[in-house]
């Protein structure tokens, strides 16, 4: 699934996330990929990918130490694409709650990332995703496709609507584990997935191809 026009993608290296897996997956679908926290490179790339593994609070601390919060905010203010994966998605929300401790997120979207309400946690393995018609991220993907999840927390309530009548409203995809949770969001220049597309086989590769095609 090679792309006709090579796009430059920076995988932001702030100490959290399997950056090598993301790098390999993006390279396989035709992107020119670099792992870095360099400010100029992160700002000027066609796309910025923000991975994330571990605790919400620790990821936020690492992101702020690398000035990633500022870079993400500046890119989005200028309409420059950003994609978050796993905890890299969670930190886009207003706050996260872990072990009773609340941590402020980037507040790009309202909502709280909280413990999953399920009999067995973490949610680890393959699951289906229900996405809305017209999705760019999921274009061409079999509706029965499964994606790979590893997480104990999620946003389980979405309240944000379009900020202007002329704007396309956010497109929210859902999955269910115990109860429904947000599995992916497309919102202008910002999109994210709770699952790991880089570990999700052909469906994940198609999703990354679709994202690169929007850059």
Q: Phi and psi (nearest 5°) for 24?
A: -65, -40
Give yes or no: 191 in active site.
no
Give yes or no: 196 in active site.
yes
Active-site annotation holder among 59, 86, 155, 191: 86
Give yes or no: 198 in active site.
yes
Do 200 and 192 form a contact (C-beta atoms < 8 A)? no
Dist. CA 120–CA 166, nearest whole Å? 43
Calculate helix-pair angle for 19-28, 201-213, nearest 10 degrees: 70
Active-site annotation holder among 23, 108, 186, 198: 198
Dist. CA 12–CA 90, nearest whole Å? 16
**Looking at the annotation, which residues are catalytic?**
86, 196, 198
């Amino acid at each position: 699934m090679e792309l006709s026009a090579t796009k430059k993608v920076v995988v932001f290296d702030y100490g959290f996330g399997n950056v090598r897996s993301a790098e390999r997956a993006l390279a396989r679908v035709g992107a020119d990929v670099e792992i870095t926290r360099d400010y100029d490179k992160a700002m000027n790339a066609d796309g910025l990918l923000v991975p994330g593994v571990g605790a919400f609070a620790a990821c936020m601390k690492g992101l702020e130490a690398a000035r990633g919060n500022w870079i993400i905010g500046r890119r989005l203010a200028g309409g420059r694409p950003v994609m978050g994966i796993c905890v890299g998605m969670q930190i886009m929300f207003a706050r996260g709650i872990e072990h009773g401790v609340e941590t402020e997120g980037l507040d790009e979207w309202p909502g709280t990332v909280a413990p999953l309400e399920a009999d067995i946690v973490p949610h680890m393995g393959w699951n289906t995703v229900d996405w809305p018609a017209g999705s760019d991220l999921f274009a061409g993907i079999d509706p029965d496709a499964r994606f790979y999840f590893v997480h104990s927390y999620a946003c389980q309530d979405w309240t944000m609507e379009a900020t202007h009548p002329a704007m396309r409203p956010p497109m929210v995809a859902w999955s269910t584990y115990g109860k429904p949770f947000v599995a992916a969001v497309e919102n202008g220049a910002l999109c994210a997935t709770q699952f790991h597309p880089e570990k999700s086989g052909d469906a994940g590769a198609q999703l990354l191809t679709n994202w690169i095609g929007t850059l």
